[in-house]
Structure 1
Amino acid sequence: MLDKGVSTTAEDPQMFGHPKGLFYLFFAELWERFSFYGMRALLMLYMVQEIFKALSERDVAAAAVYASYGSLVYASTVIGGRISDKILGMRSSIFLGGILMAIGHFVLAIENDIAFFLALAFIIVGNGFFKPNISTFVGSLYKDGDRRKDSGFTIFYMGINIGGFAAPLLCGWLAASYGWHYGFGLAGIGMLAGLIFFWSGIKKNVFGERGLPPNQEIYEKKILGIPQKTFIPIVSLLATPLIAYILASYKAIAGGESFLGDQNYVNLIFKFIGIGIVIYMGTIISKSNPDERKKLIMALLITFFMTLFWGFHELSGSVITLFADRNVALDGIMNASQTNSLNSLVIIALSIPVSLLWAYLSKRNLNPRTPYKFGLGLVLAGASFYILSLSGGSADENGMVPFAYLFIMYFILSIGELFMSPVGLSKITDLSPKRIVSFMMGVWFLSSAFAFQIVGFISKQLAIESTDVNVGGLETLSTYTDGFHLIAMYSLGAGAIVLLFSPLMKKLMGNVH
């Protein structure tokens, strides 16, 4: 039996110069991202306007849940990826994850607080199985060194952003026109559509033997009399109430009494994870040779600055969505949840021009090294928030600012994303010693989880205390614009530091570009 790393052969069906399986994975991921971003576009507004509407600290509670949800969504990919590698294989993992996520989206359509937290838990567990495996499956379609691989991932990445663009527009429209739960229901239908495309590819045998369990004996091995292929889905289902309970610990920072003080369970979990990673990395670095030590330090720096960038970027689903709802003149353009589509719109428009720019500069030996791209990315992130901080000067008497400020902000922030995100992952693999490359990839994925802890902290600082669903105008404008100014200064400062020390970082990277 072939494992997930099997390479393509001449007999593989082809389409438009690529393995035919790529296009089935393209549509599967497009619809999965449709479901994910459609739900995310509604989540913060739904919590503030419905779930926590009776709380004066509703912004704080919503921020805590949003940050915890985001952290656990990305952290779950590390566990799901390992289970796939050792036991389930990519196909079973993708199906299990997709089914759990679809259940989560449909449970969100139930108007009940308990159902709400259970739904988020289903999506967290499901994403852990689905997300890391669908991307790995794309890589398995190509031989090592196949020059089509980069363009294949570019096509796949385009599918992600098409889903990310369309979902907020459609789910946001349904939620505004007919009710929140219609928007969430459409997200669930999107997830099912993704699974149907994936199943269709399997039935047509476009994947060959790829994605099957790495070891059939382990796959069938029994635990408590139950085969692992069945035991893992059972455990996954049983884990959802526990995760739902952890998410519900928002009460610790929303006016409730709790031994956690101003923390919630997820905050504490990630503090312990962070301390553990620092200690373990310190041990590894101390035992490495000088060349490995320099590259590992650079890998950690890249991860840290990417975490910082994502921490600011992911405010788009929380604080920036609330700002759009309360202080941006959106009449006749789109509603607040739909503004979440702007990032993907810019990525779709600029990803090819930016990649062509790097190719053009490479031919002339002018392509910036990774530290310079990271520094510029952080500077652009800072500039985007500085634009928002200036918007208050153009506010009308009701505290509403022109939509152009929000669009320009997303435009600049998305360029910063293109400077950083596509290059970061490949550089981690280049800088990490082979013996710990899987661990370093896990640390990289966890960086997005830690980024949501930054999102939670910032969102808490910019929370508005009010039980008025229509709160906004001048009452909230200064809070947001002052907060955006501080974020801009931190991001600009971080970018300046990276650019200043880029020559030193180049030395740490050695021959890695």
Structure 2
Amino acid sequence: MKIFSATTDVFGHPRGLLYLFFAELWERFSFYGMRALLVLYMTKQLLFSDEMSFGIYAAYMSLVYVTPLLGGMLADKILGFRKAIVLGGVLMALGHFFLTFEHQIFFYSSLGFIIVGNGFFKPNISSLVGKLYREGDHRRDSGFTIFYMGINIGGAIAPLLCAWLAEVYGWHYGFVLAGVGMLLGLLVFKNGLQNDVFEGHGSVPDEIKFKHKKWGITNGNLIVIAAFLAVPIFALIVRFHQFEHYLVWVVTSFLMIYLIYIFNQIKKEERQRLVVAIYFTALYTLFSAIFEQAGSSLTLFADRSVNLICLNAAQTNSINSGFIILLAIPFSMLWTFLSKVNRNPNSVIKFGLGIFFLGLGFVIFGLSAQHTDEFAKTPMFYLILGTFIYTVGELFLSPIGLSKMTELSPAKYIAFIMGVWFCANFYGHFFAGKIAKFTSVSTKGLGVFSEGVFGEITNLISGLSAENVIKSGEQLQQLYSYVSVYSNFGVMTAVIGIMVIVFSNPIKRLMNGVK
């Protein structure tokens, strides 16, 4: 059965984009459906403390984005994009269904399955999108923005449905629905393979290497076996998340060694472009560390310190994705129009704007404290407005970053460099967990952001002074712990965004013609 017609282009883009759009939509439905429930499930059902829940969440979410390094390498060398995507989808589906069993072994194993599966799925489906466009194709940024909208349609619908099922019928029904979403994503992708819509891209790169046997097992099957054996290893890392910083050093060392190896294999122009790819990845790491308060501290902020209307705390995770859906097509059209009139800003400028708007969004969360009620709760308007502002920032940065990675990467190492890009989320989530822990109320005081310059920034933006808050009840102290962190990190992030724009010209020159 064909989902779309066999014409060369659909809506001005390669028809393979639509299959990848819907495959990624359903995969992200499963991922964000589970993510929306995870911290609330740990704090309310498993009765973990905030600090432990933040630690597990940060470890899980960071590892989800480090495994694409390995998944990208194995796809480049042995599996090819197609087989890697299918293997990743199967592993992730198993992970979501394992969450339906309320036992710690199943809980940590399910996270392990999703971590490993995402490593094979995520970098390779994005790389396959890039392969659909020739170098210099002006439709590339627009195509990735459309693809990014697919991600966020799944991200918008999933928290609403999964959180509703979890609240009405029980947590496990929400997790089951997330698993069903993953299976639907696999079915769409398999349909695309059957209809040959990917124009020969993504196949096994070297059949001889793929079928070569060790210990009587082909390399392809060895990778599948190794993937399943890796699940308990990652489950243990999540369980003992307090030691994750050692993994950060291991990953960093590996990245540096392999990137040095790549630098020695490529030409000067490719090296300069790769430097820009690494710079963009560093900026994305900063973006991710702040942005990924969503799902962790922002979910608890919504649950404890916001007067919610129509949505519960888990469902507020859909607000960001909902704005992406509304704005993705206008942004896609904007980039296409600006390219035609030769006014499309360089990617460095877009990155700077993205980081600036992210910071501004969190400043608005801080401003919400200026209008608290007697229960120390803030109007939902600020949560929605702040999310809208940082969503605009996301559209300036994330889909453009996906697009630029496929252009700036050396052709032989594209999936690995895409893995490096997603590794920014590994570092980002690691630091996001550290930032989230600042929002926990402590018996030792109001924390570092109540003192000195930080305290003055908090007072200026939120209207709350540490002296008055310390004399107040626990609810106002909890609110202060959130808005003090958001205010200060918001200001710092916005300033960095401005600096990226001001010092953009040297980076532009290193891009060697890539817009």
Q: TM-score, normalised by structure 2?
A: 0.84
- Asked if 1:224 is matched to 2:215, the reply is yes
- Asked if 1:23 is matched to 2:18, the reply is yes
Tell me the C-alpha RMSD between the 2 structures: 3.1
- Asked if 1:486 is matched to 2:477, the reply is no
Match of 1:373 in 2: 350
- Asked if 1:174 is matched to 2:199, the reply is no
Retained in 1: the 8 A contact 2:306–2:379? yes
Q: CA deviation at 1:153?
A: 3.7
Secondary structure of 1:316's match? coil
Retained in 1: the 8 A contact 2:73–2:416? no
Secondary structure of 1:497's match? helix
Retained in 2: the 8 A contact 1:327–1:472? no
The alignment-based identity, stated in percent, is: 48
Q: 1:425 to 1:134 in 2, by over 3 A?
A: closer
Unaligned runs of 5+ in 2: 444-472
- The one-letter code sitting in structure 1 at the alignment partner of 2:161 is L
Q: CA deviation at 1:223?
A: 2.3
Match of 2:35 in 1: 40
State how far apart, in whole Å, the 1-side matches of 2:174 and 2:130 are: 33
Q: CA deviation at 1:462?
A: 1.5
Match of 1:116 in 2: 107
- Asked if 1:444 is matched to 2:414, the reply is no
Retained in 1: the 8 A contact 2:307–2:378? yes
- Asked if 1:326 is matched to 2:328, the reply is no
Retained in 1: the 8 A contact 2:72–2:415? no
Match of 2:252 in 1: 274
Match of 2:84 in 1: 93
Q: CA deviation at 1:265?
A: 3.1
Match of 2:285 in 1: 307
- The one-letter code sitting in structure 2 at the alignment partner of 1:274 is T
Per-residue CA deviations over 1:261-304 (Å, capped at 9, x if unaligned) read xxx33221112332554577689889999877765554433221
Per-residue CA deviations over 1:452-477 (Å, capped at 9, x if unaligned) read 111111012222469xxxx9832411
State how far apart, in whole Å, the 2-side matches of 1:153 and 1:434 are: 18
Q: 1:401 to 1:375 in 2, by over 3 A?
A: same
- The one-letter code sitting in structure 2 at the alignment partner of 1:482 is S
Retained in 2: the 8 A contact 1:19–1:141? yes
2:386 to 405, 409, 420: 409
State how far apart, in whole Å, the 2-side matches of 1:206 and 1:154 are: 20
Secondary structure of 2:100's match? coil
Count, aligned residues: 482
Match of 1:7 in 2: none
Q: 1:93 to 1:49 in 2, by over 3 A?
A: same
Per-residue CA deviations over 1:108-147 (Å, capped at 9, x if unaligned) read 0111112110000000111111122223333444556666
Per-residue CA deviations over 1:203-229 (Å, capped at 9, x if unaligned) read 445457554433333333222222333
Per-residue CA deviations over 1:80-105 (Å, capped at 9, x if unaligned) read 12222222233322222111111100
State how far apart, in whole Å, the 1-side matches of 2:43 and 2:96 are: 18
Deviates more, 1:339-348 or 1:76-85: 76-85
- The one-letter code sitting in structure 1 at the alignment partner of 2:36 is A
State how far apart, in whole Å, the 2-side matches of 1:76 and 1:363 are: 38
Q: 1:413 to 1:494 in 2, by over 3 A?
A: same
Retained in 2: the 8 A contact 1:378–1:492? yes
Q: CA deviation at 1:14?
A: 6.0
- The one-letter code sitting in structure 1 at the alignment partner of 2:432 is V
2:475 to 468, 473, 476: 473
Retained in 2: the 8 A contact 1:343–1:414? yes
Per-residue CA deviations over 1:37-57 (Å, capped at 9, x if unaligned) read 10111111111222343xxxx
Per-residue CA deviations over 1:438-457 (Å, capped at 9, x if unaligned) read 65444322112111111111
Secondary structure of 2:430's match? helix
- The one-letter code sitting in structure 2 at the alignment partner of 1:303 is T
State how far apart, in whole Å, the 1-side matches of 2:282 and 2:8 are: 41
Q: CA deviation at 1:175?
A: 1.0
Q: 1:360 to 1:472 in 2, by over 3 A?
A: farther
Q: CA deviation at 1:66?
A: 1.1
Retained in 2: the 8 A contact 1:37–1:164? yes
- The one-letter code sitting in structure 2 at the alignment partner of 1:338 is Q
Q: 1:21 to 1:291 in 2, by over 3 A?
A: closer
Q: CA deviation at 1:180?
A: 1.1
- The one-letter code sitting in structure 2 at the alignment partner of 1:191 is M
Retained in 1: the 8 A contact 2:127–2:414? no
Match of 1:131 in 2: 122
Match of 1:496 in 2: 498
Q: CA deviation at 1:164?
A: 0.9
Q: CA deviation at 1:148?
A: 5.5
- The one-letter code sitting in structure 1 at the alignment partner of 2:112 is A
- The one-letter code sitting in structure 1 at the alignment partner of 2:251 is I
Q: CA deviation at 1:63?
A: 1.3
State how far apart, in whole Å, the 2-side matches of 1:287 and 1:136 are: 21
Match of 1:3 in 2: none
Per-residue CA deviations over 1:372-406 (Å, capped at 9, x if unaligned) read 22222222111111110011121111111111101
1:194 to 172, 177, 185: 185
Match of 1:245 in 2: 236
State how far apart, in whole Å, the 2-side matches of 1:25 and 1:41 are: 23
